[in-house]
Structure 1
Amino acid sequence: MDPDLPPHWLHPKDIAAARAAQAEMATQVVTQDALPARIALIGGADVSNTRFDPTKRVHAALVTLDATTDAARAVATETRIADFPYVPGYLGFREVPALRAAWARLAVKPDVILVDGQGMAHPRGLGLACHLGLILGVPTIGVAKSRLVGEGEPGPEPGDCVPLVWKGQRIGTVLRTRRGAKPLYVSIGHRVALDTAVAIVLAATRGRRLVAPIRAAHDAANAARRGALE
């Protein structure tokens, strides 16, 4: 483990320590752009697991795609037993250690990672995308398929978006990426401003609801889970 990282950011001893870690990390999230002017390589992160799995395994995947063609440049996975229980709102402590291990083996690193999960659109401002971005020290964006907190409903056309607002604060953007499809919930992860995050996500959908890097990471994580079951 990086000696500069507080141990409880990855391995808190209990829920109280996890809550304290989230509060600390939330103050460290960078909400402005600190990434290359041109995104050449775009990453995706996803984790496959079953909360009722008696072995408590998580199957994490990170992928790097060419940002223009979606051609795969690198894939890495990690399967391990989670050392933190399944508690909604604290899933980063189950999943980030496995994602960090996969990152270490990812041969080609992306300029930004699109994470299947929340970023700042989280009750304590510290969803999976923020947690991962801080631990890795890389730009991340939260791209969630469902709402955790907040209100907002965009228009029906691709590109329509509205602020995601919770307790009077904007915590993200609700983005329609395909006509007739449910919207995505985009929020800052780390080192990417919200407007930039929305533009990157919309460009990566290629006319589909979900972004290509997360689709690829989802497939890789599921393949890792199936391989662990064989």
Structure 2
Amino acid sequence: MIRVRDLHSWPSTEAEAIAVQERLRPLVRQTGLDRAPATAAGLDVAYVGDDGALVAAVTVLDVTTLTVLDSAVVHATTSFPYVPGLFAFREAPALLRALERLRVTPNVLVCDGQGLAHPRRFGLACHLGVLTDLPSIGVGKNSLGPYDPPGRERGEWTPLRLDGEVVGRALRTRPGVKPVFVSVGHRVDVESACALVLRLTPRYRLPETTRTADRLGRAG
């Protein structure tokens, strides 16, 4: 069972949210995984209309077979404003509720978003990782910073930079296809994160964790 640590109340203003990120950022740990994960959770949020209604979906996959072992869906409404860099305050509360409903505790969380590749180095993957104390990684569809295109072959990568600092990697998961953007969330290092993303992308650009969670959320 996943237990969420009570480290902060959920803010209602941009200033309060930034203060939470600044306070929790030092809790992020960049460490190698103790062992190769057997299970990985995909987390995704689908918005329904323009009134803040959303569907938070979580799937747990067997990393070897990529079969879905468990899943949970939460319907919610957020009142926090749409502010770049503060998406966690719209999405994390519902995602945490979905995680708490799982019967299978995943070895690692794979978030559809950013980890350290964030203006304050505390994206959604960091936030969820710190609150659950589970290893977590961010796999973004788009880059928040500059990067040189990696080589065309699967597995090639280049550094992802933000404000002159390396914050992750642009990782090629399919030959000749746009890379994904991998960054540390919590209790993992970038080498382990990229190795896991490659295991989760045998056929498509995006990890199967993200793809199954996205399908679940759209159906939910």
Shift of 1:151: 2.5
Check if 1:209 corresponds to 2:209: no
Q: What displacement does 1:152 show?
A: 2.9
Cα distance change, pair 92–180 in 1 and its aligned pair in 2 (3 A)? same
Query: Which of the numbers 123, 129, 153 marks the counterpart of 2:125?
Result: 129
Give the whole-Å Cα distance in 2 for the aligned partners of 1:4 and 1:79: 22
Asked if the contact 1:64/1:75 (under 8 Å) is kept, the reply is yes
**TM-score normalised by structure 1 residue count:** 0.90
Give the Cα–Cα distance (whole angstroms) in 1 for the partners of residues 181 and 121 of structure 2: 14
Partner of 2:37: 39
Aligned-residue Cα RMSD (Å) equals 1.5
Identity of aligned residues (%): 42
Deviation string 1:173-211 (CA, Å, 9 cap, x unpaired) is 000110121100000011111111011101110132111
How many angstroms apart in 2 are the aligned matches of 1:2 and 1:201?
25
Matches within 5 A, 1:91-170: 91-170=87-166
Q: Are positions 1:84 and 2:80 aligned together?
A: yes
List gaps (5 residues or longer) in structure 2.
Answer: none
User: Could you tell me which amino acid in structure 2 is paired with residue 169 of structure 1?
Assistant: E
Amino acid at match of 2:50: D
1:21 aligns with 2:20: yes
Task: Give the TM-score normalised by structure 2.
Answer: 0.94
- Partner residue in 1 for 2:47: 49
d(CA) in 1 for partners of 2:161, 2:65: 34
Aligned to 1:228: none
DSSP 3-state at the match of 1:64:
strand
Within 2, Cα distance between the matches of 1:142 and 1:16? 24
Contact 2:4–2:96 (8 Å) recurs in 1: no
| Structure 1 runs, 4 residues or longer, greater than 3 Å off | 1-4
2 CA distance for matches of 1:142 and 1:188? Answer: 6
| 1-structure distance, mates of 2:60, 2:13 | 33
- Gaps of at least 5 residues in structure 1 are 225-230
Q: Provide the rounded CA distance (Å) in 2 between the counterparts of 1:97 and 1:89.
A: 16
- Is this contact kept in 1: 2:56–2:94, CA < 8 A? yes
